[in-house]
Amino acid sequence: MSALSIREVRKAHQGTPILKGINLEIEDGEFLCLVGPSGCGKSTLLSMIAGLDTIDSGEVSIGGRVVNHLSPKDRDIAMVFQSYALYPNMSVRENVSFGLEIRKVPQAERQAIVQRVAQTLQMEHLLDRKPSQLSGGQRQRVAMGRAIARDPALFLFDEPLSNLDAKLRVEMRTEIKLLHKRMGTTIVYVTHDQIEAMTLSDRIAVMRAGEVQQFASPQEIYDNPVNLFVAGFMGSPSMNFIRAKVETQGAGFGLRLDTHGASHLMPAQGIDAALRSRVGQEVIFGVRPEQITHRPDGAGADQLHTLRLPVELVEPTGPDTLLLVPINGQEVTCRVHPTHACAAGEHLDLTFDLSKAVYFDAKTEQRLL
């Protein structure tokens, strides 16, 4: 039985479609991330799952039960908000137990639950404080505690970490992951941060303009993006997209790469069928920065291709150094180990690992397979 199932869900606001037929299904205990740029409809979808927003058509079921017409309190869910939405006039203890009180949980039991939640989240010392006396991270913790206390079938997180500073965000991310591991409750988590989505989720739904672009595991989405948008959205620094002309090369095909006068033909393998009809046309060659580096790693020798390229700019990040090289009039980012980096203006041998390279149609931006 799936924990959450969303079928053909649509929503429009004053004639403008916001969600254009969403289909998602996750199993009990899974961690789903809805990720996408702002305005893609991810928060609206979450609101509809919560019952805070109405559904125009389609069906949302939680634990096998259609909840379209149930009010939020009857959906067996809990939610953590971006602004935390802690009740300012109540102490932490009251905040956590408010939902229980409304559900008429007896006083003694309520206290026990609050104690247990406080222990789990290590916030026993905060119980008698007011939200205004808490730091951002502590508020975040209380907001999670309030959700946990209810022991719902489904947790909803609406960009819960985006109001925290960078360091705290990483800490809380880990904590959320640990919590999920320990409790095993199903979670739907909205974020615009692709790293959060990658690190936390079992499955990611990448959304754009009211549509799910791709719904798969994080690694699958990273390695096999279905289109240019997904490929560009996931990963940082983002994937290089090099516009290049398709040419025949022996029995196979290659892509013409020009850089400062020098011209190379980069073999393109595994998609002969798609390229055959595009000879002489441009396609988009997608290659992640870490796949253009100073030395071959695990891939087979036939998948490696080395070019000598002029380095325009050097950006050390610490663990890696990013190099910008011009190819076909575009800036292409390469990622090398600092010990192999050179100075700007020099030339460097850079090896392309083509085993993970992807190709997109220049017009439809869909992946060529």
Which one of the spans 13-21, 77-85, 204-212, 320-328 is the region binding other proteins (CB under 8 A)? 77-85
Nearest residue to 205 (alpha-carbon basis) of 324, 71, 32, 348 = 32
Which one of the spans 64-72, 221-229, 331-339, 353-361 is the region binding other proteins (CB under 8 A)? 64-72
Q: Which one of 87, 276, 279, 349 is in contact with other proteins (CB under 8 A)?
A: 87
103 is a site residue for other proteins (CB under 8 A) = yes
Closer to other proteins at the Cβ: 131 or 218? 131
R_g of the chain computed on alpha carbons:
25
Closer to other proteins at the Cβ: 89 or 119? 89
User: Is the separation of the CB atoms in 92 and 131 below 8 Å?
Assistant: yes
Which one of the spans 47-55, 248-256, 317-325, 346-354 is the region binding other proteins (CB under 8 A)? 47-55
Residue 81: Cβ-neighbour burial (10 angstroms; 0-12, 13-18, 19+): middle
Distance CA 162, CA 41 (A): 17
**Smallest distance from other proteins to CB 78, Å:** 6
Q: Which one of 7, 85, 120, 258 is in contact with other proteins (CB under 8 A)?
A: 85
Q: Which two tokens stand for residue 288?
A: 């992640």
Q: Which one of 2, 68, 82, 199 is in contact with other proteins (CB under 8 A)?
A: 82
**Smallest distance from other proteins to CB 222, Å:** 32
Distance CA 60, CA 21 (A): 12
Among positions 139-178, residues that touch other proteins (CB under 8 A) are 146, 150
Closer to other proteins at the Cβ: 189 or 360? 189
324 is a site residue for other proteins (CB under 8 A) = no
102 is a site residue for other proteins (CB under 8 A) = yes
Q: Which two tokens stand for residue 239?
A: 């994937």
**Smallest distance from other proteins to CB 180, Å:** 19
**Smallest distance from other proteins to CB 74, Å:** 8
**Smallest distance from other proteins to CB 152, Å:** 9
Which one of the spans 44-52, 113-121, 314-322, 348-356 is the region binding other proteins (CB under 8 A)? 44-52
Helix 136-149, helix 107-120: angle, nearest 10: 130
**Smallest distance from other proteins to CB 230, Å:** 30
79 is a site residue for other proteins (CB under 8 A) = yes
Distance CA 319, CA 341 (A): 12
16 is a site residue for other proteins (CB under 8 A) = no
72 is a site residue for other proteins (CB under 8 A) = yes
Name the site residues for other proteins (rule: CB under 8 A). Answer: 47, 50-52, 69, 71-73, 77-79, 81-83, 85-89, 98-99, 102-103, 146, 150
